[in-house]
Amino acid sequence: MRNLEGKTAFITGAADGIGFHSARALAKQGMNVMLADINAETLQQAVEVLKGEGFAVDGVVLDVAAREQWGAALDATLSAFDRVHFLLSNAGVSVIGGQQNIEEQEWRWIIDVNLMGVIYGCQVFAPHMKSHGEGGHIMNVASMAGLQGVEFASPYCATKAAVVSLSESWRSELAHSGIEVSVLCPGFAKTRIYDSYRNRQPQYGGPVYFDDLVKQKPSREASKEVVVTGVDVELIAERVVEGLLNNELYILTHPQFRQSQQTRFEMINTAFDRASD
Ligand SMILES: NC(=O)c1ccc[n+]([C@@H]2O[C@H](COP(=O)([O-])OP(=O)(O)OC[C@H]3O[C@@H](n4cnc5c(N)ncnc54)[C@H](O)[C@@H]3O)[C@@H](O)[C@H]2O)c1
């Protein structure tokens, strides 16, 4: 998408972190922005902050894991801004731990939010973008953890790998409908992702706040440390804008992970050599 002025973005998980800062960065480009989030209170605060800065924004409460809420979210956006050109499927949560210690309910939660939430977004917004004929772009937020499995983080890595795969598949599938697709794969950034359980819905066990989680599982403390020492979120938001303007398939933010990716490619290449022997 070359010209963002006057176009509309819809962002999930927009009340905080990467979603909020991307909303501000896109609004600075002249876009209207609909902020969607499961947390009505932080959503309202986020909308007020950006309105106070003079941006054309609005908000809608949306649990991305609830398929039945997506139609109303689209309708609210169309009432506010007429049509949508850019979907940033950003809402995500983190479940980590040894593979024997993850309860089924936690698997269901992370799959429903990180994977099904992205699927529902595409199901609802791609037909709308196709119908208005002005072109569209869907950017899904995965992670570096989606490009390589990491020990004691298999639920998070598995959902993010699926988001990479969906994005690659949809990129060629939706090109015929004038819709570009990309996938953002950040490394650690200073957000509240370590405190994801604050937003856990009742059907998956309800909210637990980080300090209480650490009391139950002291090893969780390390998950906060890596996030709070990550990059500033503004850097990720800048890459969102660049990746959108340049229609990049893989949008990366952390060059320090190049070596581990190269090692992975070399292992796959060597496996092909063995297949050809
Ligand atoms: N921060 C990092 O280090 C990092 C690295 C790589 C990828 N990511 C990804 O970036 C995305 C944004 O995370 P963040 O770091 O800004 O985290 P964050 O916790 O600061 O923000 C997440 C936002 O999503 C909302 N949310 C949670 N569950 C939701 C649901 N079911 N429906 C709608 N909204 C929901 C929260 O209320 C919050 O506003 C996630 O997909 C995450 O996996 C983050």
Report the pLDDT averaged over residues 68-73.
Answer: 98
**Banded model confidence at residue 176, pLDDT cuts 50, 70, 90:** very high
Model pLDDT, residue 160: 98
Give me the percent of the chain exceeding a pLDDT of 90.
Answer: 92
Whole-number Å distance, alpha carbon 195 to ligand 1 midpoint, is 10
Q: Say what the pLDDT of residue 218 is.
A: 83
| Confidence band for 276, pLDDT divided at 50, 70 and 90 | very high
Q: What is the dihedral of CA 166, 167, 171, 177, to 10 degrees?
A: 80
Phi, psi of 134 (to 5 degrees): -95, 5
Q: Which of 156, 194, 197, 204 is catalytic?
A: 156
Q: Is 17 close to ligand 1, i.e. is its CB under 6 Å away?
A: yes
Residue 18's pLDDT band, with cuts at 50, 70 and 90, is very high
Please name the residue ranges forming H helices in the chain: 17-28, 40-52, 70-81, 104-110, 117-132, 154-175, 210-216, 221-228, 233-246, 258-276
Report the atom number in ligand 1 closest to the C-alpha of 141: 41
Percent of the chain with pLDDT over 70: 100
Q: How confident is the model at residue 216, as a pLDDT?
A: 85
Domains and CATH numbers, the chain: 8-276 (3.40.50.720)
The predicted model gives 178-205 an average pLDDT of 96
Asked whether 132 lines ligand 1 (CB < 6 A), one says no
Decide if 120 is catalytic.
no
Mean pLDDT, the chain, rounded, equals 96
CB of 76 sitting under 6 A from ligand 1: no
Give the tens place of pLDDT for each residue, 85-126: 999 999 999 999 889 989 999 999 999 999 999 999 999 999
Atom of ligand 1 nearest to the CA of 114: 41
Q: Which pLDDT score is estimated for 223? A: 87
pLDDT of residue 164: 98
Confidence of residue 3 (pLDDT cuts 50, 70, 90): very high
Torsion of CA 121, 126, 128, 132, to 10 degrees: 150
pLDDT at position 1: 84
The pLDDT-based confidence of 220 (bands split at 50, 70, 90) is confident
Q: Choose the weakest-confidence range: 5-19, 97-111, 212-226, 231-245.
A: 212-226
State whether the beta carbon of 139 lies less than 6 angstroms from ligand 1.
no
How far does the centroid of ligand 1 lie from the alpha carbon of residue 46, in Å? 14
Residue 189 predicted with pLDDT over 90:
yes
> Residue 157 and residue 145: Cα distance in Å, rounded?
5
